Amino acid sequence: MAESSANSLAPASAATSNEPSRASTPANAPVEKAPDEGSKLKTFLGVLRRFIGVSDLATVRFSLPAQLLEPTPNLEYWNYLDRPETFISIGDSDEPLARMLGTLRFWFTKDLKYVKGKPCKPYNSTLGEFFRCTWEVEDTQPQLKHSPNSKPSSSASSVVGDKRVKITYLTEQTSHHPPVSAFYIDCPEKGISARGFDQLSAKFTGTNIRVVAGAHNLGIFITLKHRDNEEYQLTHPAAYLGGLLRAGSLSVSVADSCFVTCAKTKIKVILEYLEEGWLGRTQNKVLGVIFRYDPNNDTKTKIKDVPDKDVLGRIEGSWQTKVYYTLGSQPFAKTPKNRNLLIDLDPLFVVPKNIPPIEEQLPNESRKFWEGVTNAIVNKQYSLATTLKQEIEDKQRKKAAERKETGKEWQPRFFTASVTPVGRPDLTKDGEEALKRLYEGNNALEPNKEYAAF
């Protein structure tokens, strides 16, 4: 689908904008009874059954009624900085192995919303829509033990400090068919940035929805400016939304492999997620191996294929609770006393975003754009919300038809192209300026010269 069915926490942000946007709606619009989770799921399943066997739901045009939607724009919901302090600490160590361990610590926190939240369906993003925000967090992540003689951290979760660092985030819907958005994360103070294209491919099997990265989604690309522009590529595993036949029992599981690579340091990680164990019980287990590899001959995709002589460390744990690592090539079972805590997710929650106030947003900025729909859903005026949502969809189709008739191709504002450069979107001058102003605390942006969806 254009957005994933996934777990989400209610959106939170700065004090000036930490509530969903509120727009006035007609006083005579009827207030309706909110559907319970069971009836919402039944309606959703009824819609999905029309698409059993469709290879990619993202290519199918269908509109969900407003009462099934979370009053949250997809571009606001879909980001990887649920715990930004783990992101900014990736490049802190002088040791390559420790930097890879820091990357893994970030990896296991980036989807905290899946662990702590409930399944939800945000709004479909419209072409040219964009979202921006910042985070300000304490730069106090402990160092990770990277050798037998290095000092171990007392905890792999955040500790209290008083030094705060700002991270800026910008994302734009660059393509509608297929649905693709580009994103850029920047932390100038720490010299770390990340970018990528988000695109999902989804298939309904009749019992669950399988979601995988689309063709233009090659993962997250993290660059460490202060480490000679060291780059890490983090690919996404397949995820499953299950429990569709059990009202109130929706769950997200992962059963796939993914990879983290750094060509400059020649260190690679293979992570294998195990969905079910004995008697079909969900494990939420993850196993991994950290090893030396040849970037010019990168052929190993399974943990069992990595020879012990190349192994630098191993990963094991639950991606929903605690993840541990060991150093060296010995199997986990033989080194229980030598395992180190990589991350403990139990005490962690999603860090709030700082979002520009609604009055300082442009018409195609996510919260401003969806303001009327959000307000109607929050006020339980579901028929009105559905009507407003359909009007948005109709306007977008009309604009697309006009461009097709004139042979005009839509050009994103903040990124140089819809789906290129491959995997790694580049910012335009406007994109660079938008991030710079965010960092400076200036929310002012020049209005668009034209809009793609209205």
* CA 244/CA 385 separation, integer angstroms: 25
**Mean pLDDT over all residues of the chain?**
87
Dihedral angle, C-alpha 385, 387, 393, 398, nearest 10 °: -150
Contacts of 421 (CB under 8 A, 6+ apart): none
Q: Indicate if the pLDDT at residue 160 is higher than 60.
A: no
pLDDT at residue 247, as a whole number: 56
pLDDT at residue 207, as a whole number: 79
pLDDT at residue 28, as a whole number: 67
Can you tell me whether residue 116 is helix, strand or coil? helix
Count of alpha carbons within 13 angstroms of residue 386, beta-carbon side = 13
pLDDT at residue 170, as a whole number: 98
pLDDT at residue 402, as a whole number: 95
Using CA atoms, how far residue 297 sits from 232, 293, 301, 418, in Å, is 17, 8, 12, 31
Q: pLDDT band for 19, please (50, 70, 90 cuts).
A: very low
Q: What percent of the chain lies above the pLDDT cut of 90?
A: 68
Q: Indicate if the pLDDT at residue 17 is higher than 80.
A: no
What's the per-residue H, E or C state across 40-84? Answer: HHHHHHHHHHHHCCCCCHHHCCCCCCHHHCCCCEHHHHCCCCCCH
Contact call for residues 260 and 64 (beta carbons, < 8 A): no
**Mean pLDDT comparison of 15-29, 153-167, 198-212, 419-433, highest-scoring range:** 419-433
pTM of structure: 0.89
311-338 confidence digits (pLDDT tens):
999 999 999 999 999 999 998 877 778 8
Structure tokens at 27: 């006083």
Contact call for residues 210 and 254 (beta carbons, < 8 A): no
Q: Indicate if the pLDDT at residue 5 is higher than 50.
A: no
Question: What number is the average pLDDT over the span 163-179?
Answer: 95
Question: What number is the average pLDDT over the span 156-170?
Answer: 71
Q: Which is more confidently placed, 210 or 269?
A: 269
Q: Indicate if the pLDDT at residue 96 is higher than 50.
A: yes
